[in-house]
Amino acid sequence: MATPIIDASHIVKDYGRVRALHGVSLEVGAGEFVALVGPSGCGKTTLLKILAGFEDITEGRLEIEGKDMRGVPAASRPTRMVFQKLALFPHKTVAQNIGFPLKLQKFDRAEIDRRVVAMLELMHLNPDYLDRFPAQLSGGEQQRVALARALVSHPGVLLLDEPMSALDAKLKKSLQAELKKLHRELGTSFVLVTHDLEEAMMLADKICVMRAGRMVQIGTPTDIYYRPANMFVAGFIGETNFLPVDVSGTLEGGLTVGSPLVAGQPVVMESGNVSEFLGEGNKALLIRPESIGFLAGEPGPGQWMLTGVVEEYFIKGSSTQYRVRVAGLDAPVVMDLPGSFELPAQVGEEVRIGFEPMRAFLLSE
Amino acid sequence: MKKGTAEMNKLANDMNRRSVLKGMGGMGLAAAGAAFLGMPRGAQAAESLNYMCWEGYNAPSILDPFQAANDATIAIDLITDSAGGFAKLAAGASRDFDLVSSDSPWIQRMGPAGFCRFLDDADFAEQYADFYPQFAAPFGPLQFEGKATGLPTRWGWVGPTVNTKFDTLEAWSSYAPVFDSAYKDKICLLDWGDWPIMPLALYAGVNPYEELDEAALGEVRKVLRAAFKNTRAIVGDLAIAQKGLLDGSFRALIGGGTYCTSSLRLKGHDYIQSIVPEPKDGLKQGIIWMEATGLIDNGRNSAIAADFLKYIVSPEVAKQLAITEATCNLVPNSKAEALFSEEEKKALQMDYMWTAWENSQFHTVAPNIDDMLAIWQEELAAR
Amino acid sequence: MKSQSKTWNDPVLVAAVAPLAIVMLVFFLVPLAMTALLTFQTTQYYRLQWTWDLTIWTEIFSKPHYWTIMLRTVGMALICVVISILIAFPTAYALTTRLKTYSAQIQILIIFAFLTDAVLKTFGWILVLDRQGVANWLLSYLGLGPEAMDILFTPTGTMIGMVYNLAVYPMFTIYLSLARIDRDLVLASYDAGASRIRTFFEVTLPLSRPGLYSGAVLVFVLSLGAFLEPKVLGGGTSPLASELIRQSFETRVNWPLGAALTIVLIVIGALTLALAAAFVFRRTPAARRELA
């Protein structure tokens, strides 16, 4: 990768006695779409505000476009922000809102008008809206105006602070698609803060999962999904299953994994199916709901079997989800089966379920 | 007499900024139906009286013994302005009041105006017998065509109020210093209606208590304009006026006299005196003010109200009326004199009172007072 | 917008507004109408005469001094508005920004001062402004010589009292407007490249307009009725309208004249407000929508 457009290293941020960020590092390449993901209070918004220049840094170093940002106010940074609640100026018209950054850069009226109209077209906004006030637009339209205002002056980096969290699901989907298209067309670097890992996976080239002021994992969507650093990251996207396991051996010499809860022989994990962040604590196999199925008889070679009772099922159309209570596991095992006309098991029925441990992923807490 | 402190507090309560505009609208209502002004309050006692009066008459030490002895309750409505009080009664409030204490010219008019009972001097012979001879019946200032309205209750004189720490008494043997550039920004006019206008008119050689022609009114205009030149402030509040007199920022309070100075003298500031100027071209320059108490004609003919009238002029009560918290004033009852201490007599300048009386006009409602007040307003606006 | 399409034909709206309308009618419009009626009467011998003539209005339009005082009152009120706003805005701004931590305590102090009897406060100023007062003591202490300041019993004294008693109104209306401004809007302005000063003029100031205007109107209307300050601190030598009206009602017992002067004051005040509103809305068409 060429010189990153954002290079944040070991950022520490204290609010009084509370440490919000514990030495976080982040690189954003030119034209890259990066998502910062994590639960509320993980520090993702704080990091975004630090990038924007709304918060200063307690320790660490931030460079944007190769320049140290220490003491550089928000107004002088090449970043533009789309706020969670949009922060459109209620007393300015749509045209005035979008044109505001250009007006500050002292463009002449004609140029501002030209660019505002171009922006309106890019955002598929009705040109009649120019003289309306934000309160007269729908939520989705306001969203587009906010995006237009942020993009109109061609910023080096666009920062998005959960801009779609307030929208209904359908509108969200269409705006997500547009955002991705916009990113591809403009080639601007985007940094998106979201608590929705699915959204991050849909949109971002690179996902940074944060927890309690620390980076837990940085990687591509596939990395995050298939090779999560730990159970926290793995559990962050949708529902999944963790099977506690006993591990012996070394990574080099092969890790042997077994569990007293299952019927089946211990297996040696391939290094590709072992988290690179594997630590000392409790370990578990990550088994995605789609890789578990019902067993008619005994488990085959390389298969592990669990027995349990069907607690509930949900017919989702293309798939059917089963929840099976297994003695010794805290949570029911979740399985996604391909949808079928006849249900393979009823609630309360005792069932056998099986999976291939070699195709599961070994990680620690 | 205008009552400074009481006036200010009452005004401030009734007519502060927040209510002054509303108040004006309210006055319109009052004009149409003033009947609900002064509604009788507290009817537990055998008889309740409604009493419109100046500050001092409402002292509990005066009212309480009377209420207890007569099983009556007295509800007070304090006046802030003699003319205003008259107007209020004229607008219909007389139906709701039993007693009134105000400046004598206004009391005198209430009889002929039909809302005060005329008094038979014979009924009050006992009271008149105690009065100084100057106030003996028939007492002219309270009479109209031989019929009396009310009894005199308090009095004093209006003239220069001199702080002898700063000025000699001789310097103020006339009102000349008011117009002397040496007194620039040192003169205080009291904001008490007609009171500051009267002495200034007298100084200009105009007797304001007579019918005035255009030329005389022109003289009044000139003298007011000249007086405004040296005026530091037009003060309605007695305490502010007295403070200025004490510290020398006001060298005289024009329109005031014993009403302003006696209480200061009683507090030990005996270097402050009220005097009356020498007669000028045969025109007496001092003014005697007097308050009187009358019985309002509301059709009830209350005997207790008449008893109160006798009570208020009795020596012991007169003495209390003379020395109040805010002011000290003379009373007409000669028997009261024996009840005053030496300090009180000194404070009231009793050794000077008949000299002042001799050199003074008796205050009445001037025939052209509205013209003079209008001139006052105009000259003030033009300042 | 939907809210604008409501009309007086809507029975629910009429029912909702009716109680207020009746209260306004009884307690405001009726007295006002009676005041207006009063101006066509005359007084004689301190009694109202129910005649119908234009004596009072002839008097008012033929005597310039009434107008001198009215115009002086409006002038003082306008100056008071400007000074009050100039004091109130920075104070309110500081309360929402730099002093935010102590905002509650400071507001309580201001409210205490505000609730203290206006008479007491006004008389208190005498002790400060007097020739031998606290202010001059301080000034002489600072080496400016004895009695360096002589503003008691001058129009300046009146103005100090008026501003002191009234600036608290815009302080609170502006504070409420400022406190309602979303902090993100300010950040959005910085983010768009605006300096602090530019942000103040582009975002903070325009969004505080409702508080600014309502505060200004309050100060203006209350200034027109200023009564104690010109009397006590101004020394009565430059009387304002309310003193003129009081004199007419009380001392001259000329109720029609007092009523007419009241009407004149109300009309002049309303005209001034209308002019100011027209000026403001012509300059900033957006303001109209905002306040609507």
Q: Which of A52, A84, A85 lies at the smallest CB-CB distance from C191?
A: A52
> Following DSSP, what letter does each residue of C92-122 receive, concatenated?
HHHHHTTTGGGHHHHHHHHHHHHHS-HHHHH
- pTM, two decimals, is 0.81
Q: What is the pLDDT of residues B367-381, one digit of tens each?
A: 999 999 999 999 998
Q: Which of C32, C118, C245 lies at the smallest CB-CB distance from B16?
A: C118
Contact list in C for residue B237 (CB cut-off 8 A) is 123, 232
% of chain C with per-residue pLDDT over 70 = 93
Contact list in A for residue C190 (CB cut-off 8 A) is 53-54, 73-75
**Residue B16 confidence class, pLDDT cut points 50, 70, 90:** very low
- In chain B, what is the straight-line distance between the N-terminal and C-terminal CA atoms, in Å? 26
Q: Do A74 and C195 touch (CB under 8 A)?
A: no
pLDDT for A80 equals 95
**Residue C1 confidence class, pLDDT cut points 50, 70, 90:** very low
Q: Do C228 and B233 touch (CB under 8 A)?
A: no
Q: Do A87 and C193 touch (CB under 8 A)?
A: no
State which residue of chain A sits closest to C190, comparing Cα positions: A75
Q: Do C251 and B382 touch (CB under 8 A)?
A: no
Distance CA C70, CA C270 (A): 13
The residue with greater pLDDT, C166 or B23, is C166
pLDDT for B34 equals 37
pLDDT value at B41 more than 80: no
**Residue C8 confidence class, pLDDT cut points 50, 70, 90:** low
Residue type, C176: L
pLDDT value at B50 more than 70: yes
**Residue B24 confidence class, pLDDT cut points 50, 70, 90:** very low
Q: Which of C187, C198, C207 lies at the smallest CB-CB distance from A54?
A: C187
- In chain C, what is the straight-line distance between the N-terminal and C-terminal CA atoms, in Å? 11
State which residue of chain A sits closest to C183, comparing Cα positions: A87
pLDDT for C292 equals 37
Q: Which CATH architecture has domain B157-287+366-382?
A: 3-Layer(aba) Sandwich (3.40)
pLDDT for C281 equals 78
pLDDT value at B17 more than 70: no
Q: Do B374 and C252 touch (CB under 8 A)?
A: yes
Q: Which of B20, B22, B31 lies at the smallest CB-CB distance from C255?
A: B31
Strands A283-287 and A267-269: unpaired
Asked if residues A291 and A223 have their Cβ atoms less than 8 Å apart, the reply is no
Distance CA A226, CA A284 (A): 15
**Residue B45 confidence class, pLDDT cut points 50, 70, 90:** low
Distance CA B364, CA B207 (A): 12
Q: Would the CATH topology of B4-155+289-350 be identical to that of B157-287+366-382?
A: yes
Q: Do B27 and C153 touch (CB under 8 A)?
A: no
pLDDT value at B295 more than 90: yes
DSSP H stretches of helix in chain B? 4-15, 17-32, 60-70, 82-90, 104-113, 125-130, 197-203, 214-230, 238-247, 258-266, 303-312, 315-322, 342-347, 353-358, 369-382
Rounded to the nearest 10 degrees, the angle between the axes of helix B369-382 and helix B214-230 is 40
Chains B–C, number of C-beta pairs less than 8 Å apart: 148
Q: Give C246's Cβ-side CA count (13 Å radius).
A: 29
Q: What number of other Cβ atoms are within 10 A of residue B270's Cβ?
A: 15
pLDDT value at C5 more than 80: no
Q: What are phi and psi of C43, to 5 degrees?
A: -120, 150
Distance CA C51, CA C49 (A): 6
> Following DSSP, what letter does each residue of C136-174 receive, concatenated?
HHHHHHTTS-TT----TTSHHHHHHHHHHHHTHHHHHHH
> Following DSSP, what letter does each residue of B331-342 receive, concatenated?
-SBGGGGGGS-H
Chains A–C, number of C-beta pairs less than 8 Å apart: 68
Distance CA C194, CA C126 (A): 47
C285 touches chain A (CB under 8 A): no
Closest approach of chain C CAs to the CA of A36, in angstroms? Answer: 20
The β-bridge partners of A355 are: A304
Q: Read off the DSSP letter of residue A86.
A: B
pLDDT for C57 equals 94
Report if residue C44 sits inside a domain: no
Lowest mean pLDDT among B8-22, B294-308, C158-172, C273-287: B8-22
Instruction: Give partners of A (≥3 CB pairs < 8 A).
Output: C
pLDDT for B146 equals 87
Closest approach of chain A CAs to the CA of C204, in angstroms? Answer: 10
% of chain B with per-residue pLDDT over 90 = 74
User: How would you class B151 by CB atoms within 10 Å of its CB: exposed for 0-12, middle for 13-18, buried for 19 or more?
Assistant: buried
B368-373 long-range contacts (CB < 8 A, ≥24 apart) are: B368/B208, B368/B211, B368/B212, B368/B217, B369/B194, B369/B208, B370/C252, B370/C254, B371/B212, B371/B217, B372/B194, B372/B197, B372/B201, B372/B208, B372/B212, B372/B217, B372/B220, B373/B193, B373/B194, B373/B197, B373/C247, B373/C251, B373/C252
Q: What are phi and psi of A267, to 5 degrees?
A: -125, 160
Q: What is the mean pLDDT of residues C51-79?
A: 93
The CATH number linked to C211 is 1.10.3720.10
Buried b (16+ CB within 10 A) or exposed e, A223-256: bbbebbbbbbbbebbeebbbbebebeeeeeeebb
Domain A6-226 falls in which CATH fold? Rossmann fold (3.40.50)
Q: Would the CATH topology of A6-226 be identical to that of A239-364?
A: no
Contact list in C for residue B31 (CB cut-off 8 A) is 34, 38, 48, 255
Residues 6+ apart with CB under 8 A from A110: none
Distance CA C60, CA C23 (A): 32
pLDDT for B11 equals 40
State which residue of chain A sits closest to C2, comparing Cα positions: A136
pLDDT for C85 equals 97
pLDDT for A100 equals 96
Asked if residues C121 and C165 have their Cβ atoms less than 8 Å apart, the reply is yes
Distance CA C189, CA B318 (A): 77
Q: What is the pLDDT of residues B62-73, one digit of tens each?
A: 999 999 999 999
Q: Which of A84, A93, A105 lies at the smallest CB-CB distance from C193?
A: A105
Domain B4-155+289-350 falls in which CATH fold? D-Maltodextrin-Binding Protein; domain 2 (3.40.190)
Q: Which of C189, C191, C195, C196 best probes binding to A when mutated, by most A CB atoms within 10 angstroms?
A: C191
Is the CA virtual torsion B34, B37, B38, B44 positive or negative?
positive
Q: What number of other Cβ atoms are within 10 A of residue B245's Cβ?
A: 24
CATH superfamily membership of A239-364: Nucleic acid-binding proteins (2.40.50.140)
State which residue of chain A sits closest to C206, comparing Cα positions: A91
Domain that holds residue C280: 64-291
Q: What is the side-by-side order of every strand in the sheet holding A241-250?
A: A267-269, A254-258, A241-250, A283-287, A361-364
Q: What are phi and psi of C90, to 5 degrees?
A: -60, -35
Closest CA to B24 of C166, C32, A178: C32
Contact list in B for residue C224 (CB cut-off 8 A) is 21
pLDDT for C112 equals 87
Average pLDDT value over all residues in chain C: 87
pLDDT for B301 equals 80
% of chain C with per-residue pLDDT over 90 = 55
Residue type, B7: E
Structural domain tally of chain C?
1
Q: What are phi and psi of A285, to 5 degrees?
A: -95, 135
What tokens were used for A76? 């002088």
pLDDT for A279 equals 80
Contact list in C for residue A87 (CB cut-off 8 A) is 182, 184-185, 187-188
A132 touches chain C (CB under 8 A): no
Q: What number of other Cβ atoms are within 10 A of residue C44's Cβ?
A: 8
Closest CA to B54 of B369, B335, B326: B326
Q: What is the mean pLDDT of residues B123-142?
A: 93
The number of residues making up chain C comes to 292
% of chain B with per-residue pLDDT over 70 = 88
Buried b (16+ CB within 10 A) or exposed e, B173-204: bebebbeeeebeebbbbbbbbbbbbbbbbbbb
Closest approach of chain C CAs to the CA of A255, in angstroms? Answer: 52
Q: Do B24 and C66 touch (CB under 8 A)?
A: no
C290 touches chain A (CB under 8 A): yes
Lookup result for tokens 């002929």: B112
SS3 label, residue C91:
helix
Is the CA virtual torsion C248, C249, C252, C257 positive or negative?
positive
Q: Do A104 and C182 touch (CB under 8 A)?
A: no
State which residue of chain C sits closest to A136, comparing Cα positions: C1
Q: What is the mean pLDDT of residues C8-12?
A: 72
Residues 6+ apart with CB under 8 A from A83: A146, A161, A163, C184, C187, C188
Q: What is the pLDDT along chain A (365 residues), one digit of tens a residue?
A: 468 999 999 999 999 999 999 999 999 999 999 999 999 989 999 999 999 999 999 999 999 999 999 999 999 999 999 999 999 999 999 999 999 999 999 999 999 999 999 999 999 999 999 999 999 999 889 999 999 999 999 999 999 999 888 788 888 888 899 999 999 999 999 999 998 888 999 999 999 999 999 999 999 999 898 889 888 898 887 788 999 999 888 877 788 898 888 888 888 888 888 888 888 888 899 999 989 999 988 888 889 999 999 999 999 888 999 999 998 898 999 999 998 888 888 999 999 999 999 889 999 88
pLDDT for A68 equals 94
Highest mean pLDDT among A243-252, B310-319, C1-10: B310-319
